Structure 1
Amino acid sequence: MQFSIVAALSLVASAGALPAKSFSHKAKVLEAAASNYTWTLTDFNAAGGSNSSYSFDVSAPPTTESGLAIPAFTASCTGSGIATGPWPCTGTAITNTSAALVNAYLQASNDTTSAHLAVSYQYSTIEGQWGVEFNWTAFATVPWGSGISFTTSPSQVWGVE
Structure 2
Amino acid sequence: MDAEKAINSTLAPPENPNATTVRNLYEALASGDRKISGLIASDLEWWFHGPQNCHHMMKMLTGKSSSSDFKFEPRSIDAIDDDCVIVEGWEGAQVYWVHVWILKDGVITQFREYFNTWLTVRDLRPMNCFSATTLWQSHPRDLAKRSLPGLMLAI
For normalisation by structure 1, the TM-score amounts to 0.28
Look at both structures and tell me which one has the larger radius of gyration over its CA atoms. Answer: 1
Q: Which has the higher helix share?
A: 2
Greater relative contact order (Cα < 8 A, sep 6+): 1
Higher strand share goes to which structure? 1
